[in-house]
Amino acid sequence: MSNYDFDLFTIGAGSGGVRASRVSAAYGAKVAVAEEHRVGGTCVIRGCVPKKMLVYGAHFAEDLEDCKRFGWEIGERRFDWTVLRDNVLADVDRLEGAYTDTLENHDVTIFHERAEITGPHEITLASGKVVTAKYILIATGARPQLPDFEGVEHGITSNEAFHLDALPKKIIIAGGGYIANEFAGIFNEFGSDVCLVNRGDQLLRGYDEALRDRLLQISIMKGIDFKFNTLFEYIRPSDDGGFLAKLTGCDEEHVDVVMFATGRSPNTEGLGLENVDVELGEKGEIPVDQFSKTNVDHIYAVGDVTNRVQLTPVAIREGQAFADTVFGDGDPVAADHSCIPSAVFSHPPIASVGLTEGEARNSLGSIKVYQSDFRPMKNVLAGRNERSLMKMICDAESDRIVGIHMIAPEAPEMMQAAAIAVKAGLTKADFDATVAIHPTMAEELVLMR
């Protein structure tokens, strides 16, 4: 019999926290979870899920344009942001309910309030209630980080983008990463005048250079404006309800919205970590070992708060591995962080797994690069001058595929399957031996020269 109120107390009901809590409970643990905002966390409430719905909504702009060449005549077109916004938010409500049901069906106690660690095994809730737990799991995620300059508080982040009252006529998006490129595509397709502003001269650091160049080229063609090597000097309110934004080396500009997508910081403040001597890293993250254990034996952390790989499926894997390790019957399970596929839901999307050409050249020395640069059949008939690019990087010595990179319609869908092969260590010859499915874009994977 445990002397504690709970076997596990999880702080944060996002992707990692929910998976860890549910699976631990299924193993028989008595589990509680505290969530100060909404069950589901960033991915479900204000991230991946509603973002993908906006991406779908945005893509209709191109489909409605392209359909003419396929014989369809459409009358007057009009986009109503509030209809899409409200439908997306309603679906987010539904998903929050589904996540709550999942926890409740596993008899996980949910505290809808903030929690702070106040003793080695003690948690104090915002209401003043004190509970104890044998293990504590921190799964509090991350939040948008903002640069520091005059008027930064007038900007929004992706958190607020889903709730805008109206579509901005002109929006400046700061940052050159995932969120900036995804939302630049979304607002541009909806008809906003979009300017992406980046402090450096590279988009999507970490992705293969050829794909990043292709996205930049296509985005410019679609009408997105880019400003590189630029920082904000100020944002000031203007008389008409908009803002005046001043960037270094540029004239002051009038905009309706400035959105910051300049990275995310781990949520570790106010958790009482100092009360139990949990060590923090340089960026405020919680360093953990391969089993997601902190420097304190019974305190673990999973997901973005650990700043390992800020991706939902990774947090879920870490949460699962934690539950298997601490409450399962078998050997400890380490979350595997190798060969993680990822995607940017830009217009068109990018997807990638393994080493970029540059990384492979540096680490392997001798590599072979296969490439397919083509205009998808649908784009040809639509008269859309937008080319796709696929790259396969192989170790020249063993023929093993060490990376695949694509920018193409549906690239993330194709990549999920291709990533299995890369993870499994297959060779170019294995791909060549596979018969193509014709006509598809994916057949390029087995036809690359």
Q: Are 385 and 189 in contact (CB under 8 A)?
A: no
CB neighbourhood size of 203 (10 A):
25
Local structure of 373: helix, strand or coil? strand
Give min distance, CB of 263 to ligand NDP, in A.
4
Among 6, 81, 135, 178, which residue interacts with ligand NDP (rule: CB under 6 A)? 178
Q: Which is nearer to ligand NDP, 173 or 333 (CB)?
A: 173
Residue 44 binds ligand NDP (CB under 6 A): no
Q: Is 328 in the site for ligand NDP (CB under 6 A)?
A: no
Q: Of residues 23, 167, 179, 196, which one binds ligand NDP by CB under 6 A?
A: 179
Minimum distance from residue 311 beta carbon to ligand NDP (Å):
5
Cβ 436 to ligand NDP shortest distance, Å = 28
Q: How far is the CB of 219 from ligand NDP (least distance, A)?
A: 14
Question: To the nearest whole angstrom, how small is the minimum distance from the Cβ of residue 160 to ligand NDP?
Answer: 14
CA 153 to CA 173: how far, in whole Å?
14
For residue 121, indicate whether it is catalytic.
no
The helix/strand count (H/E) of the chain reads as 13, 22
Helix, strand, coil in percent for the chain, rounding step 5: 35, 25, 40
Q: Of these, 140, 192, 268, 310, which contacts ligand NDP (CB under 6 A)? A: 310
| Interaction of residue 191 with ligand NDP, rule CB under 6 A | no
Chain position whose Cβ is nearest to ligand NDP: 177
**Lookup: tokens for 414:** 């194709």
Nearest-angstrom CA–CA distance, 177 and 202: 9
Among 147, 272, 284, 328, binds ligand NDP (CB under 6 A): 147
Q: Cα separation of 420 and 449, whole Å?
A: 21
Distance between CA atoms of 448 and 428, rounded to whole angstroms?
9
Q: What is the phi/psi pair of residue 371, to 5°? A: -145, 145
Chain-centroid distance of CA 303 in Å reads 12
Of 23-31, 170-178, 333-341, 355-363, the window that binds ligand NDP (rule: CB under 6 A) is 170-178
Show which residues are catalytic.
438
Binding-site ranges for ligand NDP (CB under 6 A)? 147, 174-180, 182, 198-200, 205, 261-264, 310-311, 342-345
